[in-house]
Amino acid sequence: MILRQLSDDLVKALVEAPFWRRIIEDKELHPEIRDDRVTVYYSGCAIMRELNYQGGQLKCSVSLQHVPFENITSHEAKLLCTVQHGLKFEAPLEALPLGLGDERVIGLYKKAVRVRPEQKLLGAVLNHQNNAGIVIDQEIAFPGNTGRIDLCYFDRELQKLAFVEIKRFADPRLLSCGGMAPEVLTQLKTYAEFFAAERECILESFRQAIKSKRDLGLGERVCNIPKGNPTDLLMKPILAIGGCDKKVAESILNGDDRWRPLMNGLRKFAAGLYLFGNAGFTLGLSPGRQTLVWPESQE
């Protein structure tokens, strides 16, 4: 079961917290609803994990890899040698807390985040101007061994909830290995089976996520989703392959050589295929120059 509901206490505590307004105002930060938790993402990286309300206090965790230091202005720290203590930091290192989330501090946290290439592609899609108001969730973990899909949004043309799996063109999971089908096809098939088994639960969970975002002051993030929606689900995921230049895109679309196993099997397991560069793309299953759509998969 997927749970996307927040307690009244958590909603109230966040709305009243001074730092929360700063989080809302920063359009590069994406708070996502979990099971009575909120995780805040930057370019696909969770910089505030499992923000929750316990014992009358708001609490969350932060990866130490993402924490900047107060007195460090470069990627190096100076060490000084003394007879008694050996090499010690010239100036004591002090981790910089998020505090009230002012622009300078948030900027330093963003700078400290190590964003992988695939996460950069996700960030580009999230921040694409044409996708404002329809993104519902990201980095969605499904129960069991069904994995984690990258993006959930409301498709305005289809009036359906839709899920997108994003891969970089150089990801080996897109290719056949040892005569086996590309791993991504198995991944997409597993998602589709989960959608079929849990359709109503998925729809209700993400309606709750939309409601929670509105309750938290994030209504602008879902402003292009009519109230009461989604009432229907695209029953197959969409595959998006990013980082493609014109030559790579043409090779994929033509099913050339190494791309043939993927393209031969994709129609069976996906509702569509997006090919894009590094600047993101417009979410929505409409056929285009670098978009394939299979109408029978939209039912």
Structure tokens at 267: 């129609």
Say how far apart CA 188 and CA 184 lie, in whole Å.
6
Distance CA 91, CA 72 (A): 9
pLDDT per residue as tens digits for the range 54-99? 999 999 999 888 888 876 666 778 888 988 889 988 877 888 888 8
Which residue stretches of the chain are H helix?
8-16, 18-25, 103-112, 117-126, 183-197, 199-215, 246-253, 260-269
Distance, CA of 36 to CA of 59 (rounded, Å): 12
pLDDT value of position 74: 67
User: What pLDDT, on the 0 to 100 scale, is given for residue 175?
Assistant: 95
H helices, E strands: number in the chain: 8, 12
pLDDT of residue 64: 85
Q: Is the pTM of this model over 0.85?
A: yes
Q: What residue ranges of the chain have pLDDT lower than 50?
A: none
Buried/exposed 70-108: b ≥16 CB within 10 Å, e otherwise: eebeeeeeeeeeeeeeeeeeeeeeeebebeebeeebbeb
